[in-house]
Amino acid sequence: MSALNWKSIPSSSAAVKAKLDYPVIDTDLHTIEFGPLLEDYIHKYGGSGVVDKFRKGLQRGSGYVANDWYDQTPEQRLARRSARPPWWALPTKNTLDLVTVSIPRLLHERLAEQGTDFAVLYPNVTTLAATVGDEALRRPLARAVNHYHADVYRKYTDRLAPVAAIPLHTPEEGIEELEFAVTTLGLKTVLIPGAIRRPVAEAIEHYPVKHHPVVARYAFWVDTFGVDSLHNYDPFWAKAVELGVAPTTHSGSQGWTSRSTVNNYMYNHIGHFADASEALAKSLFFSGVTRRFPKLRVGFLEGGAAWAANVYADLVGHWEKRGEKQVQNYNPDAIDGELLEALWREYGSEILGTRELKREDLIGGALGTSNNSRRQAQDPQALDDFAAAGITKIEDIRDRFVPNFFFGAEADDPTVAHAFNTKVNPLGARLNAFWASDSGHWDVPDLTKTLSDTWSLVERGALTEQDFRDLVFTNPYRFYTEPNPHFFDGTAVEAKLKAKAPVKAAAAKAQLAKA
């Protein structure tokens, strides 16, 4: 594409947007940092040593599965089970889009071609900064990328809002960076890791990293800030609510168990954002975070909404079977011994043969071979897995899942229809799917077609026009303004809503006069 004529090329997404009477909000647009300038900020907060660590980390692979895969032979990769890291993740052939997501001024100008009034930005290094394991790199890197983006996008906040990277290896670390990003830098939305990989202490004790680096790499557990977490993260959630920010997560699960093939990136990639999002959502729900913090809003990006509909239905289905009272249906003490023995005597003779078994032996046999010798003792105080969430009825599940969680669906994702399927979702719920184009990555080869791609779902009958409106405007607007009513003050979104207000008022007045 010639640099001289790109402005004259029509945009299918702009054509769709022209038909709408409401703003369009993109909750996930990826940008690229300008390396030399970013390194100046890193040097400011960490010195030359941290800059060197940062460069070395980039050379070793992208952040999801950073390892020395490229330094290994094919035989070594197989022997060490080194997961294939992501590769060729940027739209390089579409050079215009590549440069667009690199230069704030150009992105600001071209946002209309994407069909968008306002975009929340997920810069590439920002998405990695909070997950770095080395604290000596993680802390200054997070501080540097946040300061960098606050500065370079300050002139363009009417249409663009970069997220702040908030590390959460401890709640104190998260609170410190959250306060700096929001109160000092003025950033309005934040990105937290979806999970922290923590070493399994006993494994590391027996297989020290310096002697067994391959074993140590896999000797980790996943901390999702709720169930079984190493820390109590309630102070962090409380601070987020206090500051009026809705945390989002853009973390995947590449490198976890089955998502760690040696040679196939696509195998590792498909579904990995959804898996990581499911882990965090279940953890926050089951640990009672959404019960204790009903005003907390959490956004899960790039995983779509189908997984959310499935988890929501599963929560209801599992509670109906294994809630506090229902789980007693499976208590071995509930067995009617007299009935069981009578049935065995009458119908089980061909299995019993000549064996003369006592009633307790027959009960043990009915429980299966794994329970034949003894019944598994259970703590009576730990029988209700829904206790921390405070679930006593199905409506509690809806009220502690649906309002708190929002789900980013890419522009061409047809499964977003599951979020709005009130005939299937328990209690007729509409889940909070919001538009997350993922422009700037390989998922979007042409950013001018993102909104039109989503509109095609309306044309195909997968979404109604109301679903579309909720997806691209209502739900993202609610996500940011429910915690912070002033989120869109001074933005193109506010301007468009104000411009429409007199039109609506005039129409209402005319309707009254006619009546």
pLDDT digits (tens, 9 = 90+) for 380-394: 888 999 999 999 999
CA distance linking residue 79 with residue 84, whole number of Å = 13
**DSSP code string of 124-165:** HHHHHHTT-S-HHHHHHHHHHHHHHHHHHTGGGTTTEEEPEE
Q: How confident is the model at residue 171 (pLDDT cuts 50, 70, 90)?
A: very high
Q: How confident is the model at residue 372 (pLDDT cuts 50, 70, 90)?
A: very low
- 64 has a pLDDT exceeding 50: no
- Answer yes or no: are the C-beta atoms of 436 and 26 closer than 8 Å: yes
User: Does 404 or 56 have the greater pLDDT score?
Assistant: 404
- 161 has a pLDDT exceeding 90: yes
Pairing mode of beta strands 196-199, 220-223 = antiparallel
Q: Tens digit of pLDDT for each residue in 185-197?
A: 999 999 999 999 8
- 115 has a pLDDT exceeding 70: yes
> Other C-beta atoms within 10 Å of 323: how many?
19
- 508 has a pLDDT exceeding 60: no
- Fill in the amino acid letter for 483: P
Taking the CA atoms of residue 128, residue 129, residue 134 and residue 135 in that order, the dihedral angle to the nearest 10 degrees is -160
45 CB burial (10 A radius; 0-12, 13-18, 19+): middle
User: Does 211 or 104 have the greater pLDDT score?
Assistant: 104
Q: How confident is the model at residue 504 (pLDDT cuts 50, 70, 90)?
A: low
Q: Tens digit of pLDDT for each residue in 267-319?
A: 888 888 889 999 999 999 999 999 999 999 999 999 999 999 999 999 999 99
Tell me the two tokens of residue 52.
Answer: 């060197």
47 CB burial (10 A radius; 0-12, 13-18, 19+): exposed
For range 190-210, the mean pLDDT:
81
CA distance linking residue 471 with residue 415, whole number of Å = 13
- 236 has a pLDDT exceeding 80: yes
Q: What is the pLDDT of residue 6?
A: 72
Q: Tens digit of pLDDT for each residue in 329-354?
A: 988 888 999 999 899 988 988 888 88
State residue 23 phi and psi, 5-degree precision.
-70, 160
Q: What is the pLDDT of residue 160?
A: 98
> Other C-beta atoms within 10 Å of 503: how many?
10
Percentage of residues in the chain with pLDDT exceeding 70?
A: 91
- Fill in the amino acid letter for 334: A
Q: What is the pLDDT of residue 207?
A: 67
How many Å is the Cα radius of gyration of the chain? 27
Q: What is the pLDDT of residue 90?
A: 85
What is the 8-class DSSP label of residue 179? H
- Statement: the pTM of the whole predicted model exceeds 0.85: yes
Among 245, 38, 243, CA closest to 129: 38
For range 93-120, the mean pLDDT:
95
Q: Tens digit of pLDDT for each residue in 407-446?
A: 999 999 999 999 999 999 999 999 999 999 999 888 888 9
Q: What is the pLDDT of residue 353?
A: 84
Q: Which domains does the chain have, with CATH numbers?
A: 6-322+395-508 (3.20.20.140), 326-382 (no CATH)
Lowest mean pLDDT among 86-90, 105-109, 241-245, 327-331: 86-90
- 247 has a pLDDT exceeding 50: yes
Q: Report the chain's terminal Cα–Cα distance, integer Å.
A: 56
- 374 has a pLDDT exceeding 80: no
State residue 199 phi and psi, 5-degree precision.
-70, 145
- 205 has a pLDDT exceeding 80: no
Q: What is the pLDDT of residue 107?
A: 96
- 62 has a pLDDT exceeding 50: no
Average pLDDT taken over every residue of the chain? 90
Q: What is the pLDDT of residue 260?
A: 84
- Fill in the amino acid letter for 340: L
- 198 has a pLDDT exceeding 60: yes
- 1 has a pLDDT exceeding 50: no
Q: What is the pLDDT of residue 269?
A: 87
CA distance linking residue 55 with residue 58, whole number of Å = 5
Q: What is the pLDDT of residue 10?
A: 85
Q: Interior CA angle at 218 toward 212 and 221, to 5°?
A: 130
Q: How confident is the model at residue 203 (pLDDT cuts 50, 70, 90)?
A: low
Q: What is the pLDDT of residue 8?
A: 73
User: Does 163 or 212 have the greater pLDDT score?
Assistant: 163
Q: How confident is the model at residue 80 (pLDDT cuts 50, 70, 90)?
A: confident
What size, in residues, is the chain?
515
Q: What is the pLDDT of residue 513?
A: 62
**DSSP code string of 438-484:** -BTSTT-S-GGGHHHHHHHHHHTTSS-HHHHHIIIIIHHHHHHHTT-
Q: What is the pLDDT of residue 244?
A: 98
